[in-house]
A and B are shown apart, each in its own frame.
Chain A
């Protein structure tokens, strides 16, 4: 099977999704979900203690996904590691055959379950992208030679709902210059936001994989709305009225996918623990 990096270079429509490592060492449920995604998605993001809630190391989970012939995308945040640890983990990933790295700043510890933790942010995402490219050149940040250089396929994130959007676009340009080959975005819910974003990124030479989110309850939709991710009022109403919010959420996501699948480079499905429904969603959206 072609690797994610090769697919990125082709004209192929990219489908990725994400798995959340558990809090603890029991990976049975995660690996079962992963098994069901084999052959259906092109890459599986493994989050790095997302929302700053402590979880098992994504590097370990990525390795286990590789062993199961899945293509992991290792999410590496700047939140918890200084430059020594970041370089060290990048080398470790490469040695394990994990080449896809999604680089992000990481949700601040203050919003997570260890709010007392020391935030690190020794490097910012742009500095980390450059660092990964420096390592590929056979040197570390201190200018010391490496015994064996890594190879990466580097990604970064963008937020289509960010205001002012121009600022986010200029950040994407800066990330491309620093070494980003692809972007995965925060979720888009309304087509207007998508269209405006699409127009603004039309000149960027990169692959942009659009985030699509499975709303599984009204409460979750309201929470995301408060976080600044505009949820259309119609969706909120649908989720309020229905007796089966998960089914309603799946109908919504299928509609969205049908609307955008011919308009972008790929989609990134965020199913938040309901990954077992991804095959069905893709089938209903006529994407498999």
Chain B
């Protein structure tokens, strides 16, 4: 899922300056899972913004704000939107932009999306996938070096690791040490340079 954090309150308040009437949108998917934009966080945001003197015109936690169909079904027809100076969106950038595509009101993003990752438990998230367009996991014992090696090396470790930890963070496992622990074999296979045209930005996939 998409791991996110809430922007600092001061930053959010700065973006909301001059906007007295705020509608808050949350996300029942990823942002709920990492507790940055679910029901509880939307309620908390509402309380805090009220304290700051804002009028909250409504709140809504969408099933998936990243899906135009959900935005159309549950949000875009609400009369209270017209009465709002701004929509504060507690979802990732996809959620913000999907809502922006369908609703012609000023938007304020409340979250910083961080990465696609796994949840060990609430509060501990780790990046596992770079959406590289050509999954390599079969060759590396199910551990992605492109994502989990700080340098994204494909043909084995650099010399910077110390005792199985990464040169940039001594609490971060060197993924090559983890892979080696599993295979016990030397890394003989040569991996060609990646084909980045597969993931040219902006990505687009049109199947039908």
**Which chain A residue shows the least CB distance to B192?**
A127
Judged by a CB distance under 8 angstroms, whether A100 is at the interface is no
Q: Are A227 and B162 in contact, with the CB atoms below 8 A?
A: yes
Chain B residues contacting A227 (CB-CB under 8 Å) are 162
Judged by a CB distance under 8 angstroms, whether A143 is at the interface is no
Report the minimum CB–CB distance from B145 to chain A (whole Å). Answer: 9
Q: Are A122 and B150 in contact, with the CB atoms below 8 A?
A: no
**Which chain B residue shows the least CB distance to A157?**
B159
Q: Which of B157-208 contact A (CB under 8 A)?
A: 157-164, 167-169, 176-177, 180, 186-188, 190-194, 196
Spell out B's residues near A (CB within 8 Å).
150-164, 167-169, 176-177, 180, 186-188, 190-194, 196
Q: Are A163 and B163 in contact, with the CB atoms below 8 A?
A: yes
Q: Are A164 and B151 in contact, with the CB atoms below 8 A?
A: no
Report the minimum CB–CB distance from A223 to chain B (whole Å). Answer: 13
Closest 3 CB pairs of A and B: A170-B186, A228-B162, A159-B159
Q: Are A174 and B190 in contact, with the CB atoms below 8 A?
A: yes
Query: CA separation between A126 and B196, bound complex, in Å?
Result: 18
Q: Are A167 and B155 in contact, with the CB atoms below 8 A?
A: no
Query: CA separation between A124 and B149, bound complex, in Å?
Result: 11
Spell out A's residues near B (CB within 8 Å).
78-79, 83, 104-105, 107-108, 110-111, 119, 121-127, 130-131, 141, 157-159, 162-164, 166-171, 173-174, 177-178, 186, 227-228
Chain A residues contacting B190 (CB-CB under 8 Å) are 126, 130, 174, 177-178
Q: Are A78 and B151 in contact, with the CB atoms below 8 A?
A: yes
Query: CA separation between A54 and B196, bound complex, in Å?
Result: 27
Would you list 28 pairs from A and B whose C-beta atoms are within 8 A, ordered by A residue?
A: A83-B193, A105-B159, A107-B167, A108-B150, A108-B168, A121-B151, A121-B152, A121-B153, A122-B196, A123-B193, A124-B151, A124-B154, A125-B153, A127-B154, A127-B192, A127-B193, A159-B159, A159-B160, A162-B159, A166-B186, A167-B157, A167-B176, A167-B186, A168-B157, A168-B159, A170-B186, A170-B188, A177-B190
**Which chain B residue shows the least CB distance to A122?**
B193
Query: CA separation between A159 and B187, bound complex, in Å?
Result: 16
Q: Are A124 and B155 in contact, with the CB atoms below 8 A?
A: yes
Report the minimum CB–CB distance from B63 to chain A (whole Å). Answer: 35
Report the minimum CB–CB distance from B163 to chain A (whole Å). Answer: 6
Q: Are B180 and A167 in contact, with the CB atoms below 8 A?
A: yes
Chain B residues contacting A178 (CB-CB under 8 Å) are 190
